[in-house]
Structure 1
Amino acid sequence: MYLSYPLVFGFVALSSASSIPHAGRDVSHNGLDIQPFTIDLTDRVPHMLDLVKKTQLPATEEPAFPGDQAGISLATLKSLRHDWANSFSWEKEQAILNGYNHFTTTIENLTVHFLHHKSSQPNAIPLILNHGWPGSFLEFLPVIDQLTKKAKTSTGRPVAFDVVVPSLPGYAFSSAPPKNWTAAGTARIFHTLMTQGLGYERYATSSTDLGSVVSYSLYETYNTSVRAAHFTMIPFYPLTAEQVAAQNITLSPAEQAQLDRWMEMVATGNAYYYVQTTKPNTIGLALQDNPVGQLAWIGEKFTAWSDPRAGTGPSVLTHHEMLRGVSLYYLTRSFLSSIYMYAQNPDGFRLDYARRAATDAPMLFSGFAYNPTFWPRQFVERVGNLVLYKSHEFGGHFPGLDNPPALVSDIREIGNVWVQ
């Protein structure tokens, strides 16, 4: 069954790696050949910038659809293009990126790229963070440092994490997915990475966007290993306003505003989803060697799906972060392969809320006001062992960028339910 409205959103960002504990470059192999990885895309930068500078945009807005009424505005795109061509430095960003612990390994003939940052705390909880589209591993960089540090939960329990951030198949430095590949396959190889590769018998997961499909598959399939799961989306169709009313669910004013934003997305924001699910090659090939085209396609999602206060504390969703993320897509030549996840998982978001995951592992959920999707507590608790449901007034679709402190705080609550 095809999804009848869009369910995946995203953004990308980085923070300085200077304060990230490296814990060396040693990881447990346990049968997998895990190798340190260094990013070097500088040879592709001149071609990218040449195309950025030569791309011709209209002099003025078309009068029929001024501003952002029909997608990204011409003024926004021109501003981003100017900064990309004149002040953005991939070389500086690459140096920052290489301050993190990158690795690659091969699982089921796929190259899997991932970050691995270990806490200095002896009882740190292993945690895998799964991103979506048009995100990447970059969106979690602002939270790695805090998650690895010793901290306390809301009840005063000590908590820290060993953090693993993989790139989904087809994203960044991970192999493109083969034919008939599904999110369940991604969950399988990520489970192999966590258990056989890194030696974690039990671990937790957190996710955004399409990463929620992978994390939920981990949660329900590997239930003796995945002992806690945190979501900002669940892979189930959000309810329409009519369905909420039929269920006699009473919403707060803030929740009603979230539902209204979701219904607006249903009405006006689903074109990208239909294209990427049914004709991925058409848009993928059209934009594969078109950096400004990728910026327009991805940038519209960045601006539409984030908190209107993006770029002001605690948000780090600046235009610079947008350029950083689109540069990664373009320079790794992964735009086309990234959107195959849509076509290969057209029914990734489920209709049946009655089919609860076969696990007793605790589930935690965080809602952010400007995330264009919305699930009331009554429906989240139907699909897992819900122990925490929190709502935040600040933030959008990817809280690792929209509201990093809130995301860190909510993930730390895993410590309240984790059994060593």
Structure 2
Amino acid sequence: MILSTLIGLSALLEAVSASTVPRFEPYRSGFNLQTFKIDLAHDVHRMLRQVNETDVSNTFHFADSSAGITLEQLQSLRSQWLSDFDWNKEQAALNEFHHFTAEVEKLTVHFIHEKSNRPNAIPLILNHGWPGSFLEFVPVINNLTQMAKTSTGQEVAFDVVVPSLPGYAFSSAPPLNWTVDDTARVFNTLMTKVLGYSKYAVHGTDWGSGVAYSLYDNFNASVRATHLAFAPFHPATPEQLAAQNISLSPTEQFEESEAMNWNSAGSGYFYEQTTKPNTIGLALYDNPVGQLAWIGEKFQNWSDPRAGTGPSVLTNNEILKGVSLYVLTKSIISSIYIYWQNPNGFKSSYSKAHTDAPLLFSAFKYNIAFWPPALVQTIGNLVYYQNHDFGGHFAGLDNPPALISDLREIGTYWK
């Protein structure tokens, strides 16, 4: 599909309504903490209708899914975006959560903070990656605040904090040379000084795993448990695993094969965003259908093929909600700069974190990368490892019950 030039998005992002009255106590002063309401004018419909389509069905192999998102898939998503998707409805639902912004190190940090009514709730910060957002964890937040029991019968509930990474959604873009370690430092300040938690637990996936691992490694006094669904280390090849005498079960062999397929045929975006973020960012910035293709393809190909069927909630509507957030907040360029600013964000050499805090890990069958337990135990104090037959890269959407259950196991090891 050949797209004509689209008009800019200047009218899309309107003023954010905020008050200065914090919802929860205790909060620390000095960080300009404010309540926050999502208030984005949804003008994507007008822009989508101004797209001129040209028949390219006989030009290239646009029906071959191995070449990326197909023309049929993109047209179907665009049609649903125009006819069925209701941003105002989604926005109203999101505003049921308690949103805040705080200023930390001259950055505006957006976050959701939902507190449990349990007095001994464990503070837990959930860190997303790209092309995810805080939306990735919306299906698990309320359940995590409720009291439940771990597999060993211990009661557990969480105070849940879900920040937007710097440069994503409503968090401001960071300065140049900003790394995941810098984000970890800011998030530790958010948890300890803004929200007043002396100790807390961490979860991370995708780039959020790098933030989570940095917190785990560098802030071991305050971070007393970490759960990962991804690791900030390059997965080992079959040859490397064999050299370390690591054998795999049939399920793990499948996951390793999937990871190697992604590495050889699915990682082109990674190199583009790591080396030329401006090129792809500017190409997509005022192009909502372009962002739909670029981001939508990842949601479709990185998820369980059974996406949209229970327990998955990753429907087309979820994809459109995620893309709408990128378009309406005009954050596509600032979001992909995390690649360029962290060229070694995923390390080749494995190292163990400087902490005795427990590490928990969840693997999902259709994730784009795979780490067997023998590798994960080399990076931390691994106490729990669960491999799920259903799910993919976006665990909070792909298999919310599994992620909730695994996160609750933090309670087994919390001290």
**What TM-score do the two structures reach when normalised by structure 1?**
0.92
Alignment check: 8 A CA contact 1:61 1:67 kept? no
Q: Is the 8 A contact 2:62 2:70 kept in 1?
A: no
User: What whole-Å deviation, never above 9, does each CA across 1:208-258 have from its counterpart, x for those lacking one?
Assistant: 111000000000000010000000011111001221222222111110000
Q: Give the equivalent residue in structure 1 for 2:36.
A: 37
Q: Distance in 2 between matches of 1:70 and 1:141?
A: 31
What amino acid maps onto 1:28 in structure 2?
A: P
Q: Does 1:359 align with 2:358?
A: no
1:401 and 2:391 aligned: no
Q: Which of 48, 53, 56 in structure 1 is aligned with 2:52?
A: 56
Q: Distance in 2 between matches of 1:352 and 1:404?
A: 31
Range that drifts further, 191-200 or 28-37: 28-37
How many residue pairs get aligned? The number is 392
Query: Which residue does 1:231 correspond to in 2?
Result: 228
AA in 1 matched with 2:145 = T
Normalized against structure 2, the TM-score is what?
Answer: 0.93
Higher relative contact order (CA 8 A, sep 6+): 1
| Residue in 2 that maps onto 1:329 | 326
| Contact 2:148–2:156, Cα closer than 8 Å, also in 1 | yes
Bigger Cα displacement from structure 2, 263-272 vs 167-176: 263-272
**Residue in structure 2 matched with residue 16 of structure 1 by the alignment:** none
Matched, 1:77 2:74: yes
Task: Tell me whether 1:377 sits opposite 2:377 in the alignment.
Answer: no
Distance (Å, rounded) in 2 between the aligned partners of 1:397 and 1:63: 29
Whether the 8 Å contact between 2:62 and 2:71 is mirrored in structure 1 is no
For the residue of structure 2 that corresponds to 1:204, the secondary structure is: strand
Q: Structure 1 counterpart of 2:109, which letter?
A: V
- 1:342-397, CA deviations, whole angstroms, 9 ceiling, x for partnerless residues? 000010111222x2111000000000000010001111000000000110000001
2: CA distance, partners of 1:64 / 1:153: 50
2-structure distance, mates of 1:292, 1:284: 13
> C-alpha distance in 2, partners of 1:58/1:306?
30
Residue among 178, 183, 188 paired with 2:180: 183
Check conservation: 2:23, 2:98, Cα contact below 8 A.
yes
Could you tell which deviates more after superposition, 356-365 or 82-91?
A: 82-91
For 1:18-417, list aligned pairs within 5 A.
25-31=23-29, 32-42=31-41, 45-46=42-43, 48-59=44-55, 60=57, 62-64=59-61, 66-353=63-350, 355-417=351-413
Contact 1:129-1:166 within 8 A present in 2 as well: yes
Distance of 2:290 and 2:25 partners within structure 1: 39
Amino acid at match of 1:337: S
Structure 1 stretches of 5 or more lacking a match? 1-23
Give the counterpart letter for 1:144 in structure 2. I
Alignment CA distance shift 1:68-1:225 (3 Å): same
Deviation at 1:67, TM superposition (A): 2.8
Q: Is the 8 A contact 1:212 1:233 kept in 2?
A: yes
CA distance in 2, matches of 1:367, 1:181: 29
Tell me the distance in 2 between the aligned counterparts of 1:356 and 1:204: 18
Sequence identity, in percent?
A: 61
1:10 match: none
Query: Any idea what the Cα deviations from partners look like across 1:259-278, whole Å, max 9, x if unmatched?
Result: 11011111111110111000
- Hey, what's the Cα distance between the residues in 2 that align with 1:61 and 1:114? 47
Aligned equivalents of 1:351, 1:63: Cα separation in 2: 37
Structure 1 partner of 2:4: none
Q: Distance in 1 between matches of 2:139 and 2:176?
A: 34
